[in-house]
Amino acid sequence: MSVQTETKKRNLKSIDANSPTVRKMNFEGLENLPDHYIANNAYLTHNVNAYHVLFPEGERFFIKSVKAFADQVKDPGLANRVKAFIGQEVQHGKEHEKILEVLKGQNRPINFMVKAYQWTAFSFFLPLFEFIFGKKLKLAVTAGLEHYTASMAEISIRHQLHEHAYGDMRNLLLWHACEEIEHKSVAYDVLQTVSKSYFLRILGFIIASFMFWGYSISFQHWFLLADKKVGIRKYFQDLNASRDFGRKLYPRLVKLSLLYFKKDFHPDQTGGYELANEALITI
C-alpha cells in the first residue's frame, strides 16, 4: 500500500561524502501524525517508532564517541568530515526528539522507554564494555552502528520504502537516510586512525548488532503491546502485510552486515552515494 504525498522541493545541497553538509530542516504537519503512519500498518509503524526512541540518545553517543578521538585526527579532510558528522547527528537528534513529543501526545510510553534505554545502554552495558575493553570500544561500536544505519538507508531508498510514510514523515526518513549514507565512513575512518585492530572493529560490530536488534525489536513490541488499537487479530494481519517489506530489507541487510567481517572492508565499498543524491532532490 502506498501513501501519496505532495512534496515541497527544498533544493538541498548535493550529497558529497568528501565534504558532507549540515542541512537544517523544517518538516511540516508531523504534529498530526496518524496512529499508524507507515502504510496504515501498526507493525511497520511501531518498528519506525522504535528508531525514533533510539536515535536521539544514540546520536549523542555517536558524537561523544567520535569527539573523544577528534584530537588524534591529523588529516584535514577527515577533520572537516568529523565536524560535519557531528553537525548532521545533532540535527537528526533534534528532528527525532520532535517526533517523540508527537508520540507522547498519542499516549505512547515514551518516557519509560527512553529511561530504560538510557540506563541499560549508556549507564550499564556500554560503560561495562568500556571498562573491560578500553575507551576505543565505544568508537568501534559507533562505527558498527553507523554501518547498520547506512545499510538500512541504502535498502530503504533503493526500494522506496519511505514512500509508504504519511506526509512529511516521508521526507524526514528520507533526509535522514541520505545523510546516513553521506557520512557513513566517518566513524570508521576515525577508528582506523586510532586503531587498526581487526579484533576491536569486529567486537564493536558484534556489540552493535546485539544493541541494534535487541532494542529495536524490544521497543517495537513494547509499542505494539501498549497500542490499544492493536489486538491479536490486527497484530497478525499487519505482521503478514509487512512481509514484503521484510523480504526487501533483511536479505540485503544480512549480506551487507557480513561484508563488515572482511579484513579489507571499508564503508565506501558499498557505495550508495549517487542513489542518495537522486533521492535527496525529491525532498
| 177 vs 280: CA distance, rounded Å | 9
Chain centroid offset of residue 219 CA: 15
Q: Tell me the CA end-to-end span of the chain in Å, nearest whole number.
A: 21
What residue ranges do the domains of the chain occupy? 32-280
Low-confidence ranges of the chain (pLDDT < 50): 1-5
- Kindly give the residue spans of alpha helices, DSSP state H, lying in the chain: 42-67, 76-105, 110-117, 126-133, 136-158, 169-182, 186-194, 198-226, 232-241, 243-259, 273-280
Q: Give the separation between CA 79 and CA 175, rounded to whole angstroms.
A: 23
**Residue 226, CA atoms < 13 Å, CB-side half-sphere:** 19
Instruction: Find out whether 157 and 174 touch, Cβ atoms under 8 Å.
Output: yes
pLDDT score of 10? 76
The whole-model pTM stands at 0.94
165 beta partners = 38
Q: What is the pLDDT of residue 2?
A: 44
What's the confidence (pLDDT) of residue 11? 81
**What does the block give as the cell for 58?**
544514540
Looking up cell 518498528, which residue turns up?
47
pLDDT the model gives residue 8: 60
Beta carbons of 49 and 43 less than 8 angstroms apart: no
Q: Cα 108 to the chain's mean position, in Å?
A: 20
Contact 276, 181 (CB under 8 A): yes
Give residue 27's pLDDT: 94
